[in-house]
Copies of this chain bind each other. A is one copy, B any other.
Amino acid sequence: MGLTKQQRVVVNQAPPYVALKANSKLPTVLTVATSDPSGGAGIEADLKTFTTHKCYGLTCLAALTAQTPQDVYSIHEVPKKHFELSLTSVLRDMRVDAIKTGMLTKNSVEVLLEVLSAMEPAKRPFLVVDPVLIASSGANLMNDEAVVQQIKALAPLATLLTPNIHEASQLLGCKGGKLDLHSVDDMILRAKELQLKTGCPNILLKGGHVTWTDKKTKSTVTDVLYKANGESIVYESERCGSRNTHGTGCTLASSIASNLARGETLEHAVYGGIQYVHNAIQVGCDVLNPHITENGPINHVYAIKPPLLEMVEDLCYSAHALAISSDDNSSIINLDSDSRRSSSSTSSLVSQIRDSGHFFEYLISDSRVKPHWESYVNHEFVRRVADGTLEREKFKFFLEQDYAYLDNYAQVHCLAASKAPTADDLDKSVDIVTKIKTEMNKHREKMMTHFAIDDMKHFDKIEMGTALRNYARFFDDVSKHGSWAHLCAALSPCLMGYGHALRNVQDHVTVDKNDIYYAWCQDYLAPWYVESMEEGLILLDRICQMTDDWDTLCDIYAAVCKLETEFWDAALNYKG
């Protein structure tokens, strides 16, 4: 047989810094639970969670289900003997740092109890018991009362028990299966009762199903950790409207077990678990077929970057040749995975803007951006600076926050410089850093002159307010997960908006010319600032050439305009 065209590709070695830590101990977590083929819950959700927590996942299957978020179609129990061999061989041959249990069967609890009881207490792994009594899908594998008894038998060996309120009521044997909860203190009391009744030293009573009637707490999810020493921690998170809640219980217990295996304290392990689950709910994902109307699964992989994308960005990536030779090379050449999702912009408009260069106008007239841009550049804060009616302490608070902001802004520009596609882009970013430093000096001078500050240390001690933290957090997030173009889009509204906001009031600057307010207004109308804005326009025209996914650029622009508005809101509402 003859041979046709061949290509030869040399595959890269492992990332050299990561490989420095070769064969190091990876924390390990074993899930003892049931399989959910649809991947949202059960050992599938557990393994996904262990993996995203950089832990090594082990499994021991008590039963298999055939289910989707729609329904449970079949349940198959694993024979006791097989379960036992599976558990004992893993515990004997593999290092196990933590165990998480989920939906169990009578047989599996018996075996687990026996095996764990036979271990020296000091050598026992952390044990997180998620006392699954009713799966969110409605199916349960055995008689409730029997499970309650089994869980209670397991509890004294556990590090942590994580019931939701339905499970708590069953474990406590409440009449009518309802916990009577009126306040957070009631939750703490219930958790304490659970500790006494089960013998598990630490209880996490989950409040996801509690519907508080109080207006103030209505939109809050409250989880209570009651600890062995009698202290309690109340974790409050904002309830989000997402319908992607399939598998939250499994994921929370798995995340906590992973964090414990990593050596975190219980308090932090729980914090990390709660935030991880909330993030996974909030980001969500679309994986159901259209006819399914049930709750979808959470997104375990919201923070993951796919390895092939990392490889393609790698200077040593050796498979570029394949991209050129392959029939369909569109997917790999475009490094921005999300740009594949298509763009809503029509192609004629796109090419018109790309040719003539008015991407800034496109952005601020986008329906998502426009309301936030308008609130931002027509802000009452600026009007009240211009006419001199803003309270001095509010302006002082603003200047301090803005000083801390600029510090962060400089740092993010350094990051943008490091991602810059050309040396020229890098130089420009570094220039901006220098300009920001100049602006910071001006802020310092203004404050020292007008607010009688004589200690330079004052500026290092500025505490970041909520609006600033949220803003800085956005920068941090786009720095970590976004492209250079996305980062440039996020950095733009500050530069462009201040100029436009001041231009909007320039005919109404009635404050005295010796006032600090006057000087502040003039700063953003000065020629050097207008020049910087011109550079900013050019940059926006440049980044719109680099991606087809203008939707995301608009989303970013809108989000940051909102953050700018909130920044001035915070100053306006400052109360000393």
Contacts and interface: CB of A to CB of B under 8 A. Distances in A.
A145 to B, nearest CB: 26
13 contacts: A22-B283, A37-B58, A53-B308, A68-B94, A74-B81, A74-B85, A95-B287, A265-B327, A267-B319, A316-B470, A407-B423, A418-B418, A427-B437
A337 B26 CA distance: 12
Interface stretch (A161-169, A229-237, A515-523): A229-237
Contact of A82 (B56, B64, B264, B289): B64
A148 interface: no
A453 interface: no
A299 B94 contact: no
Given A6-B232, A26-B286, 20 more contacts: A4-B230, A4-B232, A5-B231, A7-B231, A7-B233, A8-B236, A13-B237, A23-B286, A24-B341, A25-B341, A38-B93, A39-B94, A47-B57, A70-B93, A265-B332, A268-B331, A275-B311, A314-B473, A316-B473, A411-B420
A527 to B, nearest CB: 25
Nearest to A429: B414
A171 to B, nearest CB: 17
Interface residues of A, number: 181
B262 A308 contact: yes
A12 interface: yes
Contacts of A87: 37
B26 A287 contact: yes
Contacts of A54: 301, 304-306
Contacts of A37: 58-61, 86-87, 89-90
B315 A469 contact: yes
Interface stretch (A108-116, A348-356, A377-385, A474-482): A474-482
Interface string A376-406: 0000000000000000000000000000000
A172 interface: no
A362 interface: no
A21 B267 contact: no
A14 B278 contact: yes
A447 interface: no
A505 interface: no
B234 A8 contact: yes
A415 interface: yes
Given A23-B244, A57-B48, A94-B287, A11 B234 contact: no
Nearest to A308: B272
Given A15-B303, A231-B4, A418-B479, A82 B74 contact: yes
Contacts of A417: 411, 414, 417-418, 433
Interface string A14-42: 11111111111110100000010111000
A322 interface: yes
Contacts of A262: 306, 308, 337
A17 B556 contact: yes
A472 interface: yes
Which 7 residue pairs spanning A and B have beta carbons closest together? A272-B308, A415-B418, A68-B93, A66-B86, A414-B417, A11-B237, A17-B477
A352 B562 CA distance: 51
A79 interface: yes
Contact of A265 (B189, B284, B322, B490): B322
A537 interface: no
Given A18-B283, A52-B304, A430-B433, A66 B85 contact: yes
A238 B13 contact: yes
A94 to B, nearest CB: 6
A76 interface: yes
Contacts of A1: 189, 192-193
A474 B17 contact: yes
A323 interface: yes
A78 B81 contact: no
A440 B262 CA distance: 45
Contacts of A28: 287
